[in-house]
Structure 1
Amino acid sequence: MTVHRLPLLAALLLGVVQPAHAQAPVPAVATSASSDAAFYALADAEWTWRQAQFGDDENDDRPSYRLPDVSAAAQAAREARWAQTLKALDAIDQGALSPAARVNYAIYRYQIETLLSAQRFHEWEKPLNSDTTFWGNLADTARTPFRNESEARAYIAMLHAVPRYFAQQMANMKAGLARGFTAPQVTLKGRDLSLLPITDAKTADANPFFEPFKALPASIPQATAKALTDEARTAITSEVVPAHRALLAYLRSDYLPHARTGLAAQGLPQGKDYYQAQIREYTTTDLTPDAIHQIGLAEVARIRAQMQEIMTQVGFTGDLPAFLAKLRSDPQFVASSPQDLLNRAAWIAKTFDGKAADWFGRLPRKRFAIRPVPADIAPFYTAGRGGPGVYLVNTWNLPARQLYSLPALTLHESAPGHAFQMSLASENKGLPAWRQRTYISAYGEGWALYCEKLGVEMGIYTTPYERFGMLSYQMWRAARLVVDTGIHAKGWTREQALAFLHDNTALSDHEIETETDRYIAWPGQALSYYLGEMAIVEDRARAEKALGDKFNIRAFHDAVLELGSVPLPVLHARIDRFIAEGGKGPYPDEE
């Protein structure tokens, strides 16, 4: 969702990662050995095996050039391994664990349950959605320059593996298609066009996959560089392009024409159980679709009243739909050029830097770049995404990127949102690796949405229109609770979802269409944002009330962020402890 990291499941399904290895045995855990050592032996062994499967190395901002084994046999082996791991976890007496290990157990168990659930539903048979595809993630690797000869050789090895990898993915897609397990047809319209830059390139040198070889590091000897470049050209011509052409032909002749026409997740095989599992994955709760729908309707009404206050403040006398129409069409809110939009995003991010020390005790070491969304995916992509090392801003169709929304977008995707939170997690060496390196959507997206609201207190929003943009983004995420459950559990049409977002948010019509297609194609993910933010807001209010004058906002934020990415019940328990300890943060020397 990314070039911030996708949620745990999607990252494993769609990412460009390592090949599968032989399945290692699960360490036996006897009931009598229910101790910290037994738990960590189990978790560390599985994590080592998982890394061998999926190759998430220590560099968040560097691609991995090894493609996974995604065959049905490899998927079955993963399901068996995670089933064994869950059984071993069941054999551990949680009451015998230390408090710290008990927290780690809850987080780790959620990870395994989520991974196992995805395997049991054969999520791998649907390796694409409306804005994320396995071939698009592969193409992303070509956008990062090589640092040395080793990376260039690893990249070439990846090129040689493309035919095998694509053949496995197409076999999975065929299995999913045969049982009606695909993204809805309407959300896949035009997605085949992203393959054309590869299939239609006139020469190997003009192919996007050749891009890193146009400026090899000077440390590579000239003769070696020539040999590497020649091998890359051959691999692109004889292996990469034919694999992409075969995929394009399959998409156009079979997959896209026969993708399911229904929208609801509950219309998929085992649909009701599947959608509830998606809710569990993305919200870390067992809320029902009906309960979430009602929460969404209540929050939409509450935010609508706040919007009315802004409209009164700026002297607008019409109704909300009229005000939204004015905002969408007013040229003062359109950047003059793509570079102008990037420059404004950079200014907002730098404004936060000047305020950061007043709100956070510990800051990440990793910085982030601000870059445009690549042109080949921009028409289908969200307004922006962020993660360790990067904040992508969509500069395609500038009238759809209203400037009054840019401060909220920047706080969410860059700092103190995704690029900030995820870097802090990966740098926290006090956490097990499987907490540093994974992403739980309810926490991560909830935190980023909380950051948008925090911008009011921080003084980031300088005009009533920017405040309204923030409220529109809050409304957008509250409306997702209504739209996602409406589509997947209540029989809503695409037109109903579009109308609900059009009438309640200031998003452009283009953004409303791309976002709606994302919710249709990715059931449950849209629910994580607002429910996660509500949890953080409620925890903060609880801490402020209990601590009174002892409440320190820097200590509270540090307590939330030092967790890494966790299920919401773990967050609530941490704030309980924060209150019990008198508001003391995890880094007292930085308060």
Structure 2
Amino acid sequence: MTRPATPFGLRALFLTATALAVLPMTAEVDAAPPSAPAAAPLSEAGGESATDKAFEAIYTAEWDWRQKQSEPDEDSKNPELVLPDIGPKAQAAKLARWSAVEKQLAGIDPARLSAANKINLAVYQSQIDALLAAQQFREYEKPFNADTSFWGNLADWARQPISDEAGARNYLEMLREIPRYYDQQIANMRAGIKRGFTAPRVTLTGRDAGIKLVIAAATPQDNPFYAPFKDLPDTIPQATRAALQAEAAQVIAQGVVPAHTKLLAFMDNEYAPAARTTLAAYDLPDGKAYYRSKIREFVTLDKSPEEIHQLGLSEMARIRARMEAVMREVKFTGTLPQFFEHLRTDPQFYPKTPNELLYRAAWIAKTFDGKASQYFGHLPRSRFAIKPVPADIAPFYTGGRGGPGIYLVNTYDLPSRPFYSQIALTLHESAPGHAFQMPLAAENKDLPAFRRDTYISAYGEGWALYCEALGEDMDMYETPYDLFGMLSYQAWRAARLVVDTGIHSQGWTRKQAQDYLRDNTALSNHEIETEVDRYISWPGQALSYYMGELAFLDARAKAKQALGPKFNIRAFHDAVLQIGSVPLPVIDQRVDQLIADGGVGPYPDEE
């Protein structure tokens, strides 16, 4: 996936997997490369086979095409592209291109590929399957959920500084494109309304806050989109800076604000009244097939909702037993639900100021730094900052979110941000979780670009959740309450298997889902409400976390059993991180190779 211009947009888009990352600019369908031969001969010299070359030609051409039509980011190779064309012709172009690529891949014989390209094919096939399914189900007609939105992603760009005149002019071009872009989004949403493909009405309350913030600014200079022009670098001549600022104010007043006013009127007067009152993905057009497609995308396994639901129930029972043991350790005499309520309401467990939370996160992150070399041989070069979630999105945001260069801590509504969850949260969102794994993939130049810049939710979220459990091995949890916080987070993700499938395939109500989380986790009531709305509006994504963690845990257990005293935890971690974000079956294949190599990881000199 291409990296958006900001860390906020980055994680928001990463969590949608590859499908939402590709936004074409053009309406024309590029000519597809010739179909790959069904049985190309192997090379005689022992180098690349003809099948390898044919496959590489397919993914190179498609990836280049995808990049040229995507929103630019800070590393954009196409700075002249600003906001994509998302109209009917552009959507047809995507459908045609990925349909053609799917046919080409069907002509590739995996047995004739090199070992590296067999993995590349598994990753690439997963990408194309998800992209094509998104087009076939016309997901662009529902371009937001309770977690992220297209208007919020654009507002994220306004939080980044402008480094030079070219960047300022490119940003201005993006501002000019907003009216056209929003008009296309509205047209797509109207098409969704006509066929009943909308966000559930119950998840819409308050989601227009970011739109209102843009409209409410007293002057263009007070508008969030003007922020990058307030502090233009001195390398831009003063007269040029003044001209750019004047132009930005004009574009915001004449284009950006009216576009948001129009969008707000549409959302309030047209979309919300027409939004569906049902919750389940099964209630959408071709809903059963759609939900199965989201399970395949987010879990990378062909599992039925029933299988996942039952797995969630059994895992919840196992985790509850551990939570009850910790409850007894701290001498609490009530029931587990009563202990949850005690944790939610006792002031000792909650920060009084935002800085208390931020400083705690920083302490935890540095504590891990002191242990990192014991558990990882190869470390990323990238560092990360710790910042509060921006105020305009914090009420609907998760407790924290991380990625390359950033760990966001939500300091909104402090009575819902318990200290006992902070260690697990920090290990998940910063290092060795998202702010660790993503840079390692991006820095691995041995991977093709479509793998370095791609995030598969089952892998990425599974890894981050595995890191929460790894904190127990690393002695990160300082008190029984900290350990209980980790177990509550594990229960939260296992509960998602029950709740997501319950909502989307078994007719669960919103209250039923909230009650299940309230009865089985120590999450605050605020988090329970925002989380359930996220699951309702984003079918399948919540399944990726725990299903992914189980893949890592199973792989580690397999390696330990097979290698015995040769098992090296650093070599194991290096091996599964070296391959970047991959479908879950590839993790198992990589561990098979680690076992065959006698437990020697990919970076033996560092281990």
TM-score (norm. length: structure 2): 0.95
Partner of 1:84: 100
How far apart are residue 58 of structure 1 and its match?
Answer: 6.6
2:37 is matched by which residue type in structure 1?
A
Q: Take 2:114 and 2:292, find their aligned partners in 1: how far apart are those partners?
A: 32
Partner of 2:438: 422
Partner of 2:378: 362
> Relative to 1, partners in 2 of residues 1:433 and 1:159: Cα closer, same or farther, differing over 3 Å?
same
Partner of 1:510: 526
Partner of 1:230: 246
**Secondary structure in 2 matching 1:370:** strand
How far apart are residue 30 of structure 1 and its match?
Answer: 2.7
Partner of 1:129: 145
Deviations 1:158-192 (A, max 9, x none): 00100110011010111011111111110111112
**Secondary structure in 2 matching 1:281:** helix
1:228 is matched by which residue type in structure 2?
L
Deviations 1:189-208 (A, max 9, x none): 11122211111111100100
1:67 matched to 2:86: no
Q: Take 1:147 and 1:11, find their aligned partners in 2: how far apart are those partners?
A: 29
1:35 is matched by which residue type in structure 2?
T
**Secondary structure in 1 matching 2:472:** helix
Q: Among residues 26, 31, 42, which one is paired with 1:25 in the alignment?
A: 31
1:363 is matched by which residue type in structure 2?
L
Q: Take 1:174 and 1:330, find their aligned partners in 2: how far apart are those partners?
A: 47
Partner of 1:211: 227
Percent identity, aligned pairs only, is: 61
Partner of 2:269: 253
How far apart are residue 23 of structure 1 and its match?
Answer: 3.3
**Secondary structure in 2 matching 1:31:** coil
Q: Among residues 284, 292, 302, which one is paired with 2:318 in the alignment?
A: 302
Partner of 2:122: 106
Partner of 1:272: 288
Deviations 1:507-526 (A, max 9, x none): 00000000000000000000
Q: How does 1:30-49 map to 2 (within 5 A)?
A: 30-33=37-40, 35-49=51-65
1:199 matched to 2:215: yes
Structure 2 unpaired stretches of 5+? 1-6, 41-49
Partner of 2:298: 282
> Relative to 1, partners in 2 of residues 1:14 and 1:223: Cα closer, same or farther, differing over 3 Å?
farther
CA RMSD of the aligned region, Å? 1.8
> Relative to 1, partners in 2 of residues 1:9 and 1:557: Cα closer, same or farther, differing over 3 Å?
closer
Q: Among residues 169, 178, 181, which one is paired with 2:185 in the alignment?
A: 169
**Secondary structure in 1 matching 2:402:** strand
Deviations 1:422-462 (A, max 9, x none): 01101100000000001100000000000000001111110
**Secondary structure in 1 matching 2:507:** coil
Q: How does 1:314-329 map to 2 (within 5 A)?
A: 314-329=330-345
Q: Take 1:535 and 1:11, find their aligned partners in 2: how far apart are those partners?
A: 18
Q: Which moved more, 1:188-197 or 1:206-215?
A: 188-197
1:559 matched to 2:575: yes
Partner of 1:5: 11
1:27 is matched by which residue type in structure 2?
P
> Relative to 1, partners in 2 of residues 1:254 and 1:58: Cα closer, same or farther, differing over 3 Å?
closer
Q: Which moved more, 1:34-43 or 1:479-488?
A: 34-43
**Secondary structure in 2 matching 1:469:** helix
Q: Take 1:451 and 1:64, find their aligned partners in 2: how far apart are those partners?
A: 40
How far apart are residue 31 of structure 1 and its match?
Answer: 2.7
Q: Take 2:317 and 2:401, find their aligned partners in 1: how far apart are those partners?
A: 28
1:540 is matched by which residue type in structure 2?
R
2:584 is matched by which residue type in structure 1?
L
1:188 matched to 2:188: no
**Secondary structure in 1 matching 2:542:** helix
Q: How does 1:448-459 map to 2 (within 5 A)?
A: 448-459=464-475
1:288 is matched by which residue type in structure 2?
S
How far apart are residue 7 of structure 1 and its match?
Answer: 5.9
> Relative to 1, partners in 2 of residues 1:308 and 1:337: Cα closer, same or farther, differing over 3 Å?
same
Partner of 1:384: 400
Q: Is the 8 A contact 1:55 1:64 kept in 2?
A: no
Q: Is the 8 A contact 2:19 2:134 kept in 1?
A: no
Partner of 2:43: none
Q: Take 2:229 and 2:20, find their aligned partners in 1: how far apart are those partners?
A: 25
Q: How does 1:48-59 map to 2 (within 5 A)?
A: 48-55=64-71, 57=73, 59=75
**Secondary structure in 2 matching 1:350:** helix
Q: Is the 8 A contact 2:503 2:536 kept in 1?
A: yes
Q: Is the 8 A contact 1:5 1:11 kept in 2?
A: no
Q: Is the 8 A contact 1:9 1:115 kept in 2?
A: no
Q: Is the 8 A contact 2:432 2:464 kept in 1?
A: yes
Deviations 1:476-516 (A, max 9, x none): 00000000000000010001000000000000000000000
Q: Take 1:68 and 1:405, find their aligned partners in 2: how far apart are those partners?
A: 39
Q: Take 2:545 and 2:232, find their aligned partners in 1: how far apart are those partners?
A: 41
2:484 is matched by which residue type in structure 1?
F
Deviations 1:373-392 (A, max 9, x none): 11111111111111111111
> Relative to 1, partners in 2 of residues 1:59 and 1:401: Cα closer, same or farther, differing over 3 Å?
farther
1:545 matched to 2:561: yes
> Relative to 1, partners in 2 of residues 1:56 and 1:198: Cα closer, same or farther, differing over 3 Å?
closer
Partner of 2:365: 349
1:31 is matched by which residue type in structure 2?
A
Give the count of matched residue pairs.
Answer: 590
> Relative to 1, partners in 2 of residues 1:9 and 1:363: Cα closer, same or farther, differing over 3 Å?
closer
How far apart are residue 132 of structure 1 and its match?
Answer: 0.6
> Relative to 1, partners in 2 of residues 1:433 and 1:55: Cα closer, same or farther, differing over 3 Å?
farther
**Secondary structure in 1 matching 2:69:** helix
How far apart are residue 24 of structure 1 and its match?
Answer: 2.5
Partner of 2:599: 583
> Relative to 1, partners in 2 of residues 1:7 and 1:553: Cα closer, same or farther, differing over 3 Å?
farther
Structure 1 unpaired stretches of 5+? none
Q: Take 1:183 and 1:469, find their aligned partners in 2: how far apart are those partners?
A: 32
Partner of 1:439: 455
1:371 matched to 2:387: yes
Q: Is the 8 A contact 1:373 1:394 kept in 2?
A: yes
Q: Take 1:213 and 1:6, find their aligned partners in 2: how far apart are those partners?
A: 25
Partner of 2:546: 530
Q: Is the 8 A contact 2:13 2:21 kept in 1?
A: no
Q: Is the 8 A contact 2:142 2:199 kept in 1?
A: yes
Q: Is the 8 A contact 2:13 2:20 kept in 1?
A: no
TM-score (norm. length: structure 1): 0.97
1:23 is matched by which residue type in structure 2?
V
Q: Take 1:48 and 1:351, find their aligned partners in 2: how far apart are those partners?
A: 41
Q: Is the 8 A contact 2:594 2:600 kept in 1?
A: yes
Deviations 1:8-60 (A, max 9, x none): 68366666977347433221123354511111011001000000111465749
**Secondary structure in 1 matching 2:387:** strand
> Relative to 1, partners in 2 of residues 1:368 and 1:68: Cα closer, same or farther, differing over 3 Å?
same
